[in-house]
A = this chain, B = another copy of it.
Amino acid sequence: MDGSRAAVAGRRRVSIKDVARQAGVAVSSVSRVLNDHPNVSAQMRQRVLDAVAALDYERDLLGSSLRRGTTRSVGFLVSDVANTLFADMAKGAESELQQAGYSLVVTNSDGDPARDERSIRLLSNRRVDGLILAVSDETDPQTNRALTQLDNALVLLDRELRGLPRASAVLADHATGMSAAVDHLVGLGHRRIALLGGPLTLRPHRERLDAFKAAHRRRKIAVQPDLVLIGPTVSAEFGRSATARLLALPADVRPTALISGGNLVLIGLLRALHEAGAPVVGQDLSLVSCDDVPLAELHYPPITVVARDTVEMGRVAARLVLERLHGANPRTVTLPTQLVVRSSAVALR
């Protein structure tokens, strides 16, 4: 069989009409067979299926989406998919969505709220059924306005947006991990602990800072204000400059322990340390970082971290979107963090 002339003319996709013609039935019948409609005779079913096989037909999701009003696609909006953190989440989300027949449309905002907003509108115009997102600035009015105008299934990735009760969220319990980190360091004798954190317009950094302070209070230790460095963004550049600034402090006020607020910050921090040559991590300086990455595990000395399952966060986010699309109410899932003790934090001498 040469499969009719559908294949010749400019390689037009074979449509449901072609199948109907080939089978000698109405398009609606073809549609019913393809959608497992109850009222189809076995005979009709076979004729259509034969035609489908003969033409190698596959449903055009564009037409189907337009008609059904659902695209079976979900947007994924983060500042940078190249960041291991978000890459892991994207992976988790995609694998879960793929199983359900959904596709993931990925967008980077590069930390720019304006691009966040543009992407939200674009994805909305693409009619994605849902949106998994970690906005760059929880307080940005444009972003918030764009989000409230949506009627899509929304899942926040470690973000907190007042005024969006319709949104589900998957959060990490940063507080517990940060508390454990501070306790660990204090237990080792440290009193001057520095925190290299990110903007407080983002939930993770806010929660970590709060926990950092609370842990100090609990241990009755005063937080040194100039040891709390809040970067405009948790980048390697910030990690490096902040570390350099801390190292330049007079010995009597210089921190004896550093807490890095993210994997990119850690990179910059280590660069600064390696450049300076001293102090040496695990000897003259103790170090704890947030989020476990191969670099932390395989560094010498191995770096103690506050870990969380980032891939799982993505998977849960996907499940939350799907359950929302199936009619469930929005809800928030909080995943644990845990302190993984290695040897970068040592007793103060």
Give the interface of A toward B (CB within 8 A). 11, 56, 58-63, 65-66, 71, 73, 76, 80-84, 87-88, 90-91, 94-95, 98, 103-108, 110, 119, 121-127, 149, 151, 267, 270-271, 274, 294-295, 297-300, 311
Contacts and interface: CB of A to CB of B under 8 A. Distances in A.
A270 B298 CA distance: 7
A63 B60 CA distance: 13
Is the contact region of chain A dominated by helix, strand, or loop, or is it mixed? helix
A59 to B, nearest CB: 6
Question: Which among A83, A105, A106, A108 has the highest number of chain B CB atoms within 10 Å?
Answer: A106
Contacts of A151: 11
A121 B63 CA distance: 16
A270 B295 CA distance: 11
9 contacts: A61-B125, A82-B87, A87-B87, A87-B90, A103-B126, A104-B105, A105-B106, A267-B298, A300-B300
B66 A62 contact: yes
A267 B295 CA distance: 9
A299 B294 CA distance: 10
A293 to B, nearest CB: 8
Nearest to A88: B82
